[in-house]
Amino acid sequence: MLSIFITFFLFLGGYVYAASVHASKTLVFYDERLDQLDSFSNFLSDLKDREYELDYYSANSTADIELFEGENRLYDNLIVLPVKGKHINKLVSDKTLLQFYNDGGDILSVTSPSAVPDSIRLFLNQLGIFPSPKGYELVDNVQGSLKIDSSDFRDSRICAAKYASSITLNGASSALLDNREQIFPILAAPRTSYTKATGKDSWSVGSQGFLATAFQNLKNARVAWLGSVDFLKDEFYGNNGNFVQEIAKWVFQEKNVIKSVDASHFHVDGTSYDEVPYKIKDAVIYEVGFSEWNGEKWVPFITDDVQFELRMLDPYYRLTLKPGRQKDEIQYYTTGEFRLPDHHGVFTFETDYKRDGFSFAVQRDVRPIRNLAHSEYARSWDISNAAVYLSSIFSVIFAWVIFIIFFITASPVVNKPMNTNKKNN
Amino acid sequence: MKLLKALGLLALTSLGQALTIKDAHFTFPETDARGIMMGSIDYETKKLNQPLTLQSLDQTIELNFASDSRLTQATVLLGLPDQKLEQAIQATLTEKQGLLLYRAKIPINQLSQHLLHLAVNEKQLLTGSLVVSKENEGFLVPLFDVKLEVNETEFEYVKPKRLEAKPEIHHVFSAEPKTVPWSFAQIFSFLVVLVTFGLVVTWMSAGAITWDGLPRGFDTIFFLAFVGSVIGFEFIFIRYYIGDSIFDTLKYTFLLSIPSLLLGTHFLRNWGKELR
């Protein structure tokens, strides 16, 4: 009976739909003086449909905002909608945001030309995202209004291009981006646009500015920044809904989440390192498995750019792995047979899979590779140069034995006693 | 109502098309190159037929033009629009005797490294487009191409780090020591063996081998034991060469040396007596 109950609850637990790879407790931080929550109802209800547990905090609230309890993070995700006023800097400082982010929390930040709080801006600045300050607005006098073209979309593998072409915005701010590999630009500003502020120079001109961008740290925590609250508003949700949901799925770890598992290396005959430690020039095989979270379960991750490195300070090998066997939710990739270098030392067997828009998957194993023992070098009979010396040695041995035999068996020189008697005749 | 809307749109369009800038011309400061006059520019202006060709990265292109009214935007976009790669250069405004003069200075060596790499190393033409606008009207028009005829050695491009597959690396093993071909070594080995047999044959043909002194009777056993011990010692040394440890070699040598000494001494003593 107990086993039936356990089975039933396990089944129920597995059936519960949770889209994100981690828990989905989310705090929505908003300012009702700017936008009522009702104006984001479509966006928020889409999140709820995917089992997000949403808490709300209004910037006008007198209660303190708590992101941590002691050292424990209270929320998995944070949505920061445009907030006006300086008191937000006290409520949620850039240091708190950074602490939340470094602890693995994911953040979706939305600013608008009239609401770019300092704490949000400073936090984004530390990631290399520089949104235009308050008062700057992106305008496009050539097209008359902000019209996003498919050419403005940057292929970051976060969002499909088809969702970007229909975007409609009323007002937006743009951001300049640092030249960092962890920043994934998503949507550039139109070529003919520029950011305008009364009495000030432009913040960005043309496509050097960005309307949406993303960042992922080395712990795989994600940040996405949107330059307009119109992305989320019900008013434009028909056009922008798919795009913003794709961004939300990415930033809250519903998509492009991969993991590497079962990294192993062994001799070509299948013998493990523990059984026979590696020596230089040994033929070995390395393989590693990859899985991807598809929003419901782990599935094999199919790609063609997984690379393996064998390093001792610098890489001795960097090999693109070939797809191998597939087992359950794991796709294995293998180097095939390769020979260890002819240098001994402590080497790292490593796959460091870091690609735009995907979570970073790293596998490392440090193993010593020994030099040859004195008895493992090539023997003289394997070396052609030695053949003459060997044949000479054995010839001398042969000749010496033959000489002894011949010497002993040769006709002895017998010194027979001479007849010393005098003749008496 | 629809007609009114259409008329309104037409009026707006014609307003956009009405924006014209004047006296547009290119100059190349600090060089002997002559300027290029373009005259008035509007949204229909065609691009220059020939690219602006520069022989040095230290050159500057200046685009000067005048406008009757103050522009909200006057920008040159230089780059490769097809590759979504453009750099914006904003024009500066000078008011001179009631005229609004705009000047966009493009110092080539201050362009982005990636653009310079594509223009210098990959010989791609950079396209310059002019964006001008006033409130609610403006246009973008491709105006010119830039060709950089610069020696590749003058510009070194360091590609920024990106999350992408890197070039493969294969370890280059140290070269194996050079050895003679086996066939060559075998010829010399054969010669050595031939000489040895020649020596034996010479001994035989010289009458040195008679077998007259072959021990007889009980001495044959001691003779065979003596020769066997000599061969045995050689065998132990060969085994050492093949891989036996020095300790095994010493052990077997010691074991063989006992009968070898006893039997050898006995044989040699008898043999010596016989010789006397």
Q: What is the CATH classification number for the domain harbouring B34?
A: 2.60.40.10
The domain boundary, picked from B100, B129, B154, lies at B154
Tell me the CA end-to-end span of chain B in Å, nearest whole number: 150
Contacts of A310 (CB under 8 A, 6+ apart): A286, A316, A317, A340, A341, A347, A348, A349, A350, B171
**Is B150 in the same domain as B21?**
yes
Most confident of A203-207, A364-368, B204-208: A364-368
Residues of chain B with C-beta less than 8 angstroms from the C-beta of A402:
200
Predicted local distance difference test score (pLDDT) of residue B176:
86
Tokens of B78: 């230089």
A285 neighbors A324 (Cβ within 8 angstroms): no
**Is B40 in the same domain as B108?**
yes
**Domain span including residue B143:** 16-154
pLDDT(A238) > 90: no
pLDDT(A319) > 60: yes
Contacts of A261 (CB under 8 A, 6+ apart): A288, A289, A290, A291, A330
Residue B115: how many other CB atoms lie within 10 Å: 21
pTM for this one? 0.80
B205, part of any domain: yes
pLDDT tens string for chain B (276 positions)?
A: 444 444 444 444 444 456 778 888 999 888 888 888 888 888 888 888 889 998 888 889 999 999 888 888 899 999 999 888 899 999 999 988 878 899 999 999 899 989 999 998 889 999 999 999 987 788 999 999 999 888 877 678 888 888 999 999 999 999 988 999 999 999 999 999 999 999 989 988 887 777 777 777 778 888 899 889 999 999 999 999 888 899 999 999 999 999 999 988 988 888 777 766
B3, part of any domain: no
B9, part of any domain: no
**Is B131 in the same domain as B20?**
yes
**Is B220 in the same domain as B149?**
no
How far apart CA A193 and CA B92 sit, in angstroms, is: 18
Domain A17-251, CATH among 3.40.50, 1.10.3470, 2.40.128, 1.10.10: 3.40.50
CA distance A205 to chain B (A): 6
**Is B126 in the same domain as B217?**
no
Residues of chain A with C-beta less than 8 angstroms from the C-beta of B215:
408-409
Would you kindly state where each structural domain of chain A is located, as residue ranges?
17-251, 257-374
pLDDT(A132) > 90: yes
pLDDT digits (tens, 9 = 90+) for B36-64: 888 888 888 888 888 999 888 888 999 99
**Is B25 in the same domain as B95?**
yes
B177, part of any domain: no
Residues of chain B with C-beta less than 8 angstroms from the C-beta of A151:
84
Tokens of A14: 């597995």
The domain boundary, picked from B154, B186, B219, lies at B154
Q: Which amino acid makes up residue A132?
A: S
**Is B138 in the same domain as B218?**
no
> Where residue A115 falls among pLDDT bands split at 50, 70, 90?
confident
H or E stretch at A242: helix A234-251
- Cβ under 8 Å to A: B residues 82-141: 84, 86-88, 90, 129, 131, 133-140
Q: CB-CB: which of A192, A320, A400 is closest to B131?
A: A192
pLDDT(A226) > 70: yes
Lowest mean pLDDT segment, chosen from A25-29, A162-166, A204-208, A253-257:
A162-166
Asked if A142 has any chain B CB less than 8 Å from its own CB, the reply is: yes
B55 to each of A152, A171, B49, B149, B158, how far by Cα in Å? Answer: 33, 44, 19, 5, 22
Inter-chain residue contact B84 with A154, CB threshold 8 Å: yes
For residue A341, which of A299, A369, A372, A306 has the smallest C-alpha distance? A369
A257-374 shares the fold of A17-251? no
Task: Report the mean per-residue pLDDT for chain A.
Answer: 88
Q: Which amino acid makes up residue A411?
A: S
Domain A257-374, CATH among 2.70.50.60, 3.40.50.720, 3.30.429.10, 3.30.70.270: 2.70.50.60
Residues of chain B with C-beta less than 8 angstroms from the C-beta of A182:
163
Asked if B81 has any chain A CB less than 8 Å from its own CB, the reply is: yes
Residues of chain B with C-beta less than 8 angstroms from the C-beta of A316:
169, 171
**Is B215 in the same domain as B130?**
no
Residue with tokens 């929320």: A75
ipTM for the predicted complex comes to 0.81
**Is B35 in the same domain as B148?**
yes
The domain boundary, picked from B92, B127, B154, lies at B154
Asked if A364 has any chain B CB less than 8 Å from its own CB, the reply is: no
**Is B145 in the same domain as B217?**
no
Contacts of A294 (CB under 8 A, 6+ apart): A255
The number of distinct structural domains making up chain B is 2
**Is B142 in the same domain as B35?**
yes
B267, part of any domain: yes
How far apart CA B130 and CA B21 sit, in angstroms, is: 11
